[in-house]
Amino acid sequence: MAAFSEKITLISGTAHRALSEAIAEALDIPLANAHVGRFPDGEVDIKVLEDLRGSDCFVLQPTCPPVNDNWVELLLLIDTLRRSSAGRITAVMPYYGYARKDRKDEGRVPISAKVLANTLIVSGANRVVTVDMHAAQIQGFFDVPVDHLYAKPALLGRLRQLDIEDPVIVTPDVGGIKMARGYAKPIGADLAIVDKRRISGSEIAVEHVIGEVEGRNVILVDDMISTGGSITEAAGILRKNGAKSIVIAVTHPVFCGPAIERLANAPVDKVLVTDTIPRGENWPDVIETVSVAPLLAQAINNIHHSQSVSVLFED
């Protein structure tokens, strides 16, 4: 990696231009002048229209659906920067796609998260920044620094404003206990767990609730909603077990397949999500977006000035 100058460049892919603009505004730095489009056959077409030599470059691109398209665009942006003699290249991926396939949990399947991590490095990324990666151990797939940020301060800020009385934090599956504890501790809430079993990619079964939810105000937390099966089934069983109100707080609104319909019909009072993924036009009003742009802007600022990033998450 070449030494980088004081110069900083923010360059946006097309996956989530609004978030890139919000980050740029928070940093008071304009987005780089670049054309990122498509050739007539759908291949990615990129041309940066300013000098990048020696610059500390941050490429802003969540790899949300259409994940393959957004991923290839990110790789080609990184390659563009490397071939333009950028000083350092950081892939800022507010949502890191393919993170759910992080191990060989049965025969004859790929470890997609590792393959995709390799592509970032081969293209020329020197550093990765991401938010609530589904499996934190994916950081080990990289031999470059990974700054793993948490959306918790943003979501917790909004939850505090809602002033939910006597809340109980619930995780829709056992794997989410650490995240749930992270929400419960700062607000002094109890913890409960929904016992979930995945039947297929879009179907799950919930059988038990471990912990006390009857007559309580539930805050259901998770890293992502994909098809919405996990969270809406969990909401259903929590209501059956007597939950008084349910607010969902989730970082990544992937929302594919029947997710929107499931959420619109779910027995929940509010769905808080962040803007790591763009808001869809068809989202019902029950879904409220909280921005992680200030958090990402602060992390970029600290990385550029070689300051601590973990300091942003000290309670």
Q: Which residues of the shown chain bind ligand R5P in the complex (CB under 6 A)?
A: 172-173, 175-176, 204, 222-231
Phi, psi for 102 (deg, rounded to 5):
-105, 5
Q: Dump the DSSP string for 48-86.
A: E-S--TT-EEEEE----SSHHHHHHHHHHHHHHHHHTT-
Q: What is the DSSP letter of 31?
A: B
Q: Which is nearer to ligand R5P, 48 or 204 (CB)?
A: 204
Catalytic member of 185, 196, 240, 270: 196
Instruction: Tally the residues of the chain.
Output: 315
Tell me the C-alpha distance between 76 and 123, whole Å: 7
Closest separation between CB of residue 230 and ligand R5P, Å?
A: 3
Q: Which is nearer to ligand R5P, 70 or 227 (CB)?
A: 227
What would you measure as the largest C-alpha separation in the chain, in angstroms? 61
Dihedral sign computed on CA atoms, order 219, 222, 227, 229: negative
Q: Which two tokens stand for residue 310?
A: 């973990």
* Residue 270 bears catalytic tag: no
List, in sequence order, every residue forming a beta bridge with 218; answer none if it has no partner: 168, 246
Q: Which is nearer to ligand R5P, 73 or 222 (CB)?
A: 222
SS3 138: helix
Q: Which is nearer to ligand R5P, 81 or 277 (CB)?
A: 277
Closest separation between CB of residue 1 and ligand R5P, Å?
A: 34
Q: Which is nearer to ligand R5P, 230 or 291 (CB)?
A: 230
Closest separation between CB of residue 224 and ligand R5P, Å?
A: 5
Closest separation between CB of residue 252 and ligand R5P, Å?
A: 9
**67-83 and 112-123 are packed helices; what angle lies between their axes, rounded to 10 degrees?**
30
C-alpha dist (Å) from residue 195 to 6, 74, 243, 246: 51, 37, 16, 17
Q: Which is nearer to ligand R5P, 59 or 169 (CB)?
A: 169
C-alpha distance across the termini of the chain, in Å: 34
Q: Which amino acid is at 248?
A: I
Closest separation between CB of residue 144 and ligand R5P, Å?
A: 26
Sheet holding 287-290, edge to edge: 204-210, 190-198, 167-171, 217-225, 245-253, 270-274, 287-290
Closest separation between CB of residue 255 and ligand R5P, Å?
A: 9
Q: Would you please indicate which residues are annotated as catalytic (active-site) residues?
A: 196
